[in-house]
Amino acid sequence: MFSRVLQRVCRQSYVNNQNVQYVLPVCRGCIASRFSSSEVADGSKDSATSPAFNHGSESLVLEREVACPPHLQKPQAWLESLETRESKKLAIVDLHPDVFGTFPRLDILHRNIEWQKVYKIIDVRKEKTRAECSGGGRKPWRQKGTGRARHGSIRSPIWLKGGKAHPPRGGRTYWYVLPAPIRAWGLRIAMSIKHAQDNLCIVDSLDIPSSDPQYLEDIAKERYWGESVLFVDDKPLEEMSENFMDAINKIKTYNIISTEGLNCYSLLKHETIVMTLDAVNFLELRLMFFTKQYGSPDLRQDLPILRSQLKMDPHRGRSYSSKE
Amino acid sequence: MALFARTLSNAVSRYVLPKYDAILSSQLQAIQTRSLPIVWSSTTWHQEFYNSKTDLVDESEERTKYLESKEDFKYVERLIPSLEVPEPPKHDSYPTPSGWSPPKGSPEGLPYHVRRTRYHSHPVSIQQKHGGNQIWTIVKNVDGDIWTFGNKLLEHLEEVKGAEVGMTINEYAKRVFYKGVFKDDVIKWLENEGF
């Protein structure tokens, strides 16, 4: 049963779980059709470690340190650019196998999405108790002798039009906080699924030459991104490029999010995720942190304190002294 | 008493803000000249010092400037405990006195791999249910071909026990359950495999 689910969700690579020799995340038969504007020669499908590109003397693999156990295969992705309409592949990037190639635990993903849907609900329904219904203060008939059942009030719960025994009482919250490691795991799973399904695009930066929304739509058409695109960058929204924000604001299905706001629901809702390399660097550090942190709660509270009070962020290379 | 007042005034004039120095020393002089013994209760002292606010605080005067320096924060920074579990230090010989040794490295081409926990120990544990009537040894973090791993370890455990051993494999959660108490045997076997 699970194997059927897995085949629907991700490529064959997951069934044998990271021991399979795969380098590029795409379905091999589709390379040429998927990236029609790229320069991949047909014969290079199997030798993905040394593809035939006309890139001259530049090295193709971006040197990027990925601290992962040596037995795991690192998934790889293209580093692209948004500066030209045609798809331009700058380099191949190694990714962390536990962030972009983790086992797709759909139950964890379900927990995340249920939490996101449910925790904001405030149920304001209110119904009357027997005390709040009008009337019902007097005993309807005497206790004995009438032949009828004994009652104390016409508004008790067993009566028609009576009050409810345990009614909803106004503000009921469904609020709860899913543990941070489970939320981080959910993000890793969502990103792994997106990468396996060829819906993840890594770019060097989100700078575009013009603020025309048609430019972004042309790019999406060229690169087969689909209807909805989520752009992810590591900066806060105020610092993002104005050209880009102007273009995005005019397209309903293209959205931008900072890594601070990244969540499983948005990752699944949008068809393609376009992520900057800065965001990838940060997410790898921050999401893997939760797999390595101590278990005791008193040590786990240090990270939020460091970030909020001391403005130290160990995953963005920001220490207190360097903030000056 | 006079000696005490003098040493106090010396101490106070060195560390207190300059503008209060003249006021304090005059007050101390007044105390020194009194003939009766003074009871140095906190209420007497504070009443004389803080009640007459208009005498002490002169708003027209410029406030003392100060410099904020973050130079010494590095001494605090190095005391903050590490957030992640650190790597174990390098020992001269293994196993260490407690019996721990790092993973040797499994041979290439092995279809499975068992990762260590975040605390660098083997992911083997005992689960007890129904008041101890049901005991399982659990091996977690099994990457790769979990069935090959499970069957291979099962062979070894059946040899150890000399009888059949029940096994359950949870592919989805990457865990293998063996019925019985085999924690030490499993750990030894994992170390031999190089995990």
pTM of the predicted model as reported, rounded to 2 decimal places:
0.74
Nearest Cα of chain B lies from the Cα of A111 at a distance, in angstroms, of 15
Nearest residue of chain B to residue A299 (CA atoms): B83
Query: Hey, where are the domains in chain B?
Result: 2-51, 112-193
Q: Give the mutation candidate from B74, B84, B106, B193 for the A interface (greatest A CB count, under 10 A).
A: B84
Given an 8 Å threshold on Cβ–Cβ distance, is A2 in contact with B145? no
Integer-rounded Cα radius of gyration of chain A: 28
Given an 8 Å threshold on Cβ–Cβ distance, is B80 in contact with A294? no
Per-residue confidence (pLDDT) for residue B83, from 0 to 100: 83
In angstroms, the CA A54 to CA A284 distance is 31
Per-residue confidence (pLDDT) for residue A113, from 0 to 100: 98
Per-residue confidence (pLDDT) for residue A275, from 0 to 100: 97
Right CATH number for B112-193 from 3.90.1150.10, 1.10.760.10, 3.30.499.10, 3.30.780.10?
A: 3.30.780.10
What would the pLDDT profile of B131-149 be if each residue is shown by its tens digit?
A: 999 999 999 999 999 999 9
Report whether A239 contacts A310 (CB < 8 A).
Answer: no
Give the CA angle between residues A115, A117, A122 to the nearest 5°. Answer: 100
In angstroms, the CA B195 to CA B192 distance is 8
Confidence of residue B28 (pLDDT cuts 50, 70, 90): low
ipTM for the assembly: 0.72
CA dihedral defined by A230, A233, A239, A242, rounded to 10 degrees?
-40
What would the pLDDT profile of B91-147 be if each residue is shown by its tens digit?
A: 999 999 999 999 999 998 899 999 999 999 999 999 999 999 999 999 999 999 999
Report whether B28 contacts B1 (CB < 8 A).
Answer: no
Nearest Cα of chain A lies from the Cα of B113 at a distance, in angstroms, of 8
In angstroms, the CA B144 to CA A19 distance is 6
Given an 8 Å threshold on Cβ–Cβ distance, is A302 in contact with B115? no
Which amino acid is residue B73, in one-letter code?
A: F
CA dihedral defined by A280, A282, A287, A293, rounded to 10 degrees?
150
Chain centroid to CA B42:
41
In chain A, which stretches have pLDDT less than 70? 1-59, 317-324
A19: closest CA among B35, B106, B63? B106
Q: What average pLDDT is seen over chain B?
A: 82
Given an 8 Å threshold on Cβ–Cβ distance, is B172 in contact with A2? yes
Per-residue confidence (pLDDT) for residue A314, from 0 to 100: 78
Output the six-digit token pair for A144: 């004995």
Chain A CB within 8 Å of residue B121 CB: no
In angstroms, the CA A211 to CA A227 distance is 19
- Whether pLDDT at B80 is above 90: no
